Amino acid sequence: MTEKPVRRGKMLSPPSLVGLAAGLVPVGLSFAPSLLPRPFLMQGAITGICVALGYGIGVLAAWAVRRLTKWEPAPRVRRIAWIVVLVAAVAVIVAADLAGTAWQNEVRRLLTMAPITWTLPLQAIPVAALMAALLLIVGRALRAATRGLGRLLGRRLPQWAGLTIGGVIVALAVVVLLVAAFKGFEALTNDIYSKTNDTTAEGIVQPESAMRSGSSASLVSWESLGMQGRSFVGRGPTVAQLEAFNGSPPKEPIRVYVGLESAPTAEARAALAIRELQRTDAFTRKLLVVMGCTGTGWIEPQSADPPEYMYNGDTAEVSIQYSFLPSWIAMITDQAKATSAGKALFNAVYAEWSKLPTGSRPKLIAYGLSLGSYACQAAFTSAQDLRDRTDGAYFAGTPNFSQPWRTIEDTRDAASPEWLPIYEEGTTVRFAAAPRYFARPAGPWNDPRVLYLQHGSDPVVWWSPHLFLQRPGWLSEPRAPDVSPDTTWFPVVTFLQVTVDQFYGTTVPNGYGHNYGNMSVDAWSAIAPPPGWTAQKMRDLQAAIDNYRIE
C-alpha cells in the first residue's frame, strides 16, 4: 500500500496509513514477557517506542515503493484501507492486553507474586500512544529541518548534495544536543545525590569504638564518610549480640570505610584505608574482607553481618567509596571510577597482607554485590588470579560487562548453560542461583573457593548491548526455572524490556531478580567457614539475620 506524500511543513498533518499499519506489528511483541513483571508506565513506554520504530519503517517502505512505482491508490481504496487499519488496531490492542496479562501472570507465578487483572496492561495503551506521538513529532521536526536546509543549500548545490549535507548537519546537531542533555543530566544528578550523600540515615550515630572509621580515634572523619559510609560503620551486630549468638566473649568487629570526601583520588583513599587497617590492627584478625560497594557507596547489611557472627567479631571489613550516584547512573558515568577504586583498594590490601608470614595472615576474601562486584573484580585478571591472590571470593548479581566474570562465562564447560555454568569442573569457581546448586558439580570444590550468585531472572546480570541484535545464550539454551518458557528474544524489543527490568530488580521477592540477601549466610558458610562451623549454626545465624532489623 502506498499513499500521497504528506505536505511539507505540516507537522501535525494526519499520520501515514502505511506507517500506522507497520506500527501495529510490534505491539504484541512489546507485551511479550521478559525477566520481571513490568509496571504499566514502563510497558507503555516500550510499546510506544516499538510503535514509533514500526511506523518509521512503514513510512520508509511507502516512500520507496512510491519512488519506484509511481503508484497511488484510489480514494475508495484509501478509505477502505483506513477502516481496515483502525479495526486491526482495536483487535491488536485487545489481543495484546489479553496475551500480556497471561504472560505477565506467568512471570509473576514463577517469582511467587500475586497475579494481576487484564485492566493493568490496558493502562499502558494511553502511555504508548503519547510516547509514539511524541517520537513522531520529533521525527517530523528532524525531517522538516533536513528538507529546509536542503532547499537552502540547493540554491547553490545540486538537490541531492543539499539534502545530504542538510541531513549531516541535522544529525550533528542532534548529537550535540544529546551530549549537552547528558552533561546536564550528569550535573543535575551529581547535584542531587551529592546533597543526599551529605545526610545521615535515621538512627545512625557516630561510633564510639576505635575499631570503626569515623570514630574520634579514626584517621577518617565522620563527616567525610558519606551517607552510606556512615551507615556501614554506624551499624552491624553489637558485642552483646555476638556473645549471645556464640556463647563466648567476642572481639569488636573492625569496619573500615573511606568516603569520597576523605581523600582526593582512589589511590589516596586506598592508602588511607590501609592506614586505618593498620591503626585498628586489622591484619591480626582471622578474617579480612575487601568489599566492593555499589554506586551510592552502599554495602548490603545481610552480606556484611554474617562473617562477624561466624567469627565472633574476629574480623575486619574494608571498603572505599567511588561514587554517590545510584548504580544505574554510576554504571553510565562512573564505570572507570569503580574499576579504579576496586583495583586500588584490593591491590593495596594485598600488598600489605602478602608481607605477613604465611601462618599469621588473616583469611583474605574479596566480596561485591552488583556494581560492587564489578568494582572488586576489576582487581583480578582471571580465575587463576582470584585463586592466587585470595583465600576465597563471593560475588552476587554481577553485571554482564564485568571481568573476569565474562571470560569465565564464555569459557565454561561444554553443555553447561549460561545461567548456571560449570567452569573447570567446579574445582574452584562455582555458580549458583540457590544454595542447592553449591554442590554442582558433585566433584571436589577446592580452596580457595570462588562463588558467583546469579538468578536467571536478574536483569542486571543478563542485560547487555548485544541484546539489541543478538539472541543471548540464556534464552537459546535450557533456561533457568524462574524464566518464563514464553520469553522470546526479539531484536530491539528484548533489549528495551531487559533495560527496563533493571529498574525493578529488587522489587520482587527474595531469591529472584536482584535480591541475594537471603543467600548470604549460605554463601559465607560455603566460602569461608570458621573452624567448628556446622549446619545448625548456619541455620541459627540465618534466623538471627532474619530477626535482626536491617535497614
Three-state secondary structure readout of 114-135: CCCCCHHHHCHHHHHHHHHHHH
DSSP 36-88: S---HHHHHHHHHHHHHHHHHHHHHHHHHHHHHH-----HHHHHHHHHHHHHH
Closest CA to 282 of 370, 362, 380, 170: 362
Burial tier of 214 (Cβ tally within 10 Å: 0-12, 13-18, 19+): buried
DSSP 449-498: EEEEE--TT-HHHH--GGGGTS--HHHHSSPPTTS-TT----TTHHHHHH
CB under 8 A, 24+ apart: contacts of 419-424: 419/454, 419/456, 419/462, 419/474, 419/477, 419/479, 419/480, 419/483, 420/456, 420/480, 423/383, 424/383
Q: What is the pLDDT of residues 291-314, one digit of tens each?
A: 999 999 999 999 999 999 999 999
Three-state secondary structure readout of 268-286: HHHHHHHHHHHHCCHHHCC
Maximum Cα–Cα distance for the chain, whole Å? 92
- DSSP β-ladder status, 315-320 and 392-396: unpaired
Are the C-beta atoms of 190 and 325 separated by less than 8 Å? Answer: yes
The one-letter amino acid code at 348 reads: A
- The total number of residues shown for the chain amounts to 551
Residues with Cβ < 8 Å from 217, sequence gap 6 or more? 210, 279
Using left for φ > 0, alpha for ψ between -120 and 50, and beta otherwise, residue 310 falls in alpha
Rounded CA separation 408/428 (Å):
12
Are the C-beta atoms of 458 and 397 separated by less than 8 Å? Answer: yes
Residues with Cβ < 8 Å from 146, sequence gap 6 or more? 163, 166, 167, 170
From first to last of its 551 residues, the chain has per-residue pLDDT tens of 444 444 444 556 778 888 899 999 999 999 999 999 999 999 999 999 999 999 999 988 888 888 788 777 788 878 898 899 999 999 999 999 999 999 999 999 999 999 999 988 889 999 999 999 999 999 889 888 888 888 888 788 888 887 888 889 988 999 999 999 988 988 898 889 999 999 999 999 999 999 999 999 999 999 999 999 999 999 999 999 999 999 999 999 999 999 999 999 999 999 999 999 999 999 999 999 999 999 999 999 999 999 999 999 999 999 999 999 988 888 888 889 999 999 999 999 999 999 999 989 999 999 999 999 999 999 999 999 999 999 999 999 999 999 999 999 999 998 899 999 999 999 999 999 999 999 989 899 999 999 999 999 999 999 999 999 999 999 999 999 999 999 999 999 999 999 999 999 999 999 999 999 999 999 999 999 999 999 999 999 988 887 764 43
Q: State the cell numbers at 119.
A: 485492566
Residue 255, beta-bridge partner list: 212, 317
Rounded CA separation 450/187 (Å):
38
The neighbour count for residue 31, using CB atoms within 10 Å, is 29
The neighbour count for residue 238, using CB atoms within 10 Å, is 14
* Summary mean pLDDT of the chain: 92
DSSP-based three-state secondary structure for 531: coil
Output helix, strand, coil percentages for the chain, rounded to the nearest 5: 55, 5, 35
Residues with Cβ < 8 Å from 143, sequence gap 6 or more? none
Rounded CA separation 509/434 (Å):
14
Rounded CA separation 313/304 (Å):
12
Are the C-beta atoms of 392 and 398 separated by less than 8 Å? Answer: no
Residue ranges of domains in the chain: 17-153, 198-455+516-547
Name the pTM for this structure: 0.91
Rounded CA separation 41/205 (Å):
39
Are the C-beta atoms of 258 and 341 separated by less than 8 Å? Answer: no
Closest CA to 501 of 513, 490, 492, 493: 513
Are the C-beta atoms of 393 and 454 separated by less than 8 Å? Answer: no
Are the C-beta atoms of 328 and 197 separated by less than 8 Å? Answer: no
DSSP-based three-state secondary structure for 341: helix
